[in-house]
Amino acid sequence: MTEHAVVIAGGGPTGLMLAGELALAGVDVAIVERRASQDLPGSRAGGLHSRTIEVLDQRGIADRFLSQGQTVQVAAFAGVPLDISDFPTRHPYGLGLWQNHIERILAGWVAELAVTIYRGREVTGFAQNDTGVDVELSDGTSLRAEYLVGCDGGRSLVRRAAGIEFPGWDATTSALIAEVELAEEPEWGIHRDALGIHSFGRLEYEIRDGEVVYMDGGPVRVMVTEQHVGPTGEPTLRDLSEALVVVYGTDYGVHSPTWISRFTDMARQAAAYRDRRVLLAGDAAHVHNPVGGQGLNTGVQDAVNLGWKLAQVVNQTSPESLLDTYHAERHPVAARVLRDTIAQVALFRPDDRTKTLGDTIAELLSMDEPRIRFAARMSGLDIHYELGEGHPLLGRRMPDLDLVTANGTLRVFTLLHDARPVLLNLGEPGGFDITPRADRVQLIDAKYVGTWELPALGAVTAPTAVLIRPDGYVAWAGDLTQLGLADALTTWFGPPAAA
Ligand SMILES: Cc1cc2nc3c(=O)[nH]c(=O)nc-3n(C[C@H](O)[C@H](O)[C@H](O)COP(=O)(O)OP(=O)(O)OC[C@H]3O[C@@H](n4cnc5c(N)ncnc54)[C@H](O)[C@@H]3O)c2cc1C
């Protein structure tokens, strides 16, 4: 039986990102992907939020995405735009780039890292014991792995086969989304009526002065809210035509669909992200309405949280208990995303009373403090893992400072390209012996003269040293002489190597 240290079920954005993270850490990882190629029939997610661009920047690949898409202010809550151009980040914007391009670029990166991908095959089941997991594939073969990660989307077979509960909220509304051609020209843009929200746009667009300007030709992306929650089966062109007629009195001669899909406001989250040797990430762990554009972003960031931890456990530098921090940190993040999408869908309800409430929320969000708070949240820049009392940086994203080192200037994110932890010493050089962990943790002596400013929090006092995890979150901040550093090193990166 073919063996890999880690098998990932599903090569969507989450699975690809996780594979890249594991490969960077030297782990033998393979993806099993149902689709024969990376092509997606539809465009799906529309882009990336600021924090996701940052995590890609931490690996040195953000430019691959930025060069193919268009930066724009995308953060919004219940349709109220939230400008982040004054935020302290190198990327104070979102990126408009369809998911098929995001996946293509991620797949290119993963190919460079020589990850094995078994395409055109499904994971059909698995059995785990104390030493590993036997993963059954649809072609009758099996793979043996130390760990199996289900990145296999909202209907995750891995989640179901593991018997992990998926509690949440049932659908109250549904919409059809499709890429089609129209014989007649519709009124472009977003429309609201008594049923809900509908829209027509072209797949190809440009951002001019912060506004979306559609190209003159090419496929049309249509979204139409249905009169009643639709069935779970695949929607047809006829369903789309009928839904358009209900709203517009015409289907605009809709024809030649390349993709028709239905989404709802169902919001569910896996009760546990791990069952022994089986883990879940991305849509397999959480599903919700696309409003706010959080799904792909949350999945990619799940992968970046899990990757280095799983690598350290597989490489036997950290105990298995490190994996428990994955659920502890990422479950609350997606739980908040679920709550926010439920609230936004509620605010989009078409009745006049809800619209009045929406106007009130919009007025609140036009004030600076709520705008900053919600913009930090929707862009992912305010994520705070509960790592206990301490410096405000603890558990928050490390800012991408311009450092001065003996070898010249260097960005903090550049230090994270190899997904290795960094102990950044901004005080006097020396004073801490990294030798017992020199194989795992980079000690960098540097100077930084600017202010320390965090999104939504503002200025914080400058620490003299910071321990940065491979995912870019701060594991410890303080003074190199403080005792807490040794504990933090052991907690996050394992005990020192035996002398
Ligand atoms: C209309 C729409 C608009 C959206 N807009 C946004 C947005 O603007 N921003 C945003 O962040 N998110 C958005 N999303 C959500 C986003 O598309 C998903 O959150 C994202 O695709 C999740 O990635 P994933 O890798 O976790 O799962 P998926 O993309 O679902 O990938 C799962 C992969 O697993 C494969 N697979 C499934 N079962 C198996 C199996 N048994 N064996 C092997 N392979 C398997 C599938 O073929 C697939 O490639 C949108 C979604 C929709 C539908």
pLDDT digits (tens, 9 = 90+) for 330-354: 999 999 999 999 999 999 988 889 9
- Cα(271) to centroid of ligand 1, in Å? 20
- Per-residue pLDDT tens for 102-132? 999 999 999 999 899 999 999 999 999 999 9
Pocket residue to mutate for ligand 1, from 48, 152, 222, 240, most atoms within 8 A of Cβ = 152
Residue-level pLDDT at 244: 97
154 CA closest ligand 1 atom index: 30
Amino acid at 193: D
Residue-level pLDDT at 498: 66
Residue closest via CA to ligand 1's atom 47 equals 34
- Cα(412) to centroid of ligand 1, in Å? 31
- Cα(45) to centroid of ligand 1, in Å? 8
Pocket residue to mutate for ligand 1, from 17, 44, 106, 291, most atoms within 8 A of Cβ = 44
- Cα(396) to centroid of ligand 1, in Å? 27
Which tokens go with 98? 């369809």
Residue-level pLDDT at 432: 81
- Cα(288) to centroid of ligand 1, in Å? 12
Residue-level pLDDT at 499: 54
Residue closest via CA to ligand 1's atom 35 equals 10
Q: What does the alpha-carbon distance between residue 135 and residue 124 come to, in Å, rounded to a whole number? A: 8
Residue-level pLDDT at 194: 86
Edge-to-edge strand order for the sheet containing 220-225? 189-192, 197-202, 220-225, 174-181, 255-264
- Cα(13) to centroid of ligand 1, in Å? 7
- Per-residue pLDDT tens for 169-180? 999 999 999 999
- Cα(15) to centroid of ligand 1, in Å? 10
For the chain, 499 residues long, the average pLDDT of each consecutive 10-residue run is 96 98 98 95 91 98 97 95 97 96 97 96 98 98 98 98 98 95 94 91 87 87 94 93 96 96 96 98 97 97 98 97 98 98 93 93 97 98 95 97 95 98 92 86 95 96 96 93 86 84
Pocket residue to mutate for ligand 1, from 98, 99, 224, 288, most atoms within 8 A of Cβ = 99
Which among 374, 377, 281, 11 is positioned nearest to 19, based on CA atoms? 11
Q: 381-388 contacts: CB < 8 A, separation 24 or more?
A: 381/50, 381/51, 381/54, 381/84, 381/87, 381/89, 381/455, 381/456, 382/455, 382/456, 382/457, 383/51, 383/301, 383/333, 383/473, 385/329, 385/473, 386/328, 386/329, 386/332, 387/475
Pocket residue to mutate for ligand 1, from 283, 287, 298, most atoms within 8 A of Cβ = 283
Residues with CB under 6 A from ligand 1: 9-15, 32-35, 44-47, 99, 122-123, 151-153, 157, 177, 261, 263, 282-283, 290, 293-297, 299
Adjacent-strand bridge partners of 31:
8, 117
156 CA closest ligand 1 atom index: 38
- Cα(302) to centroid of ligand 1, in Å? 13
Which among 125, 94, 156, 147 is positioned nearest to 286, based on CA atoms? 156
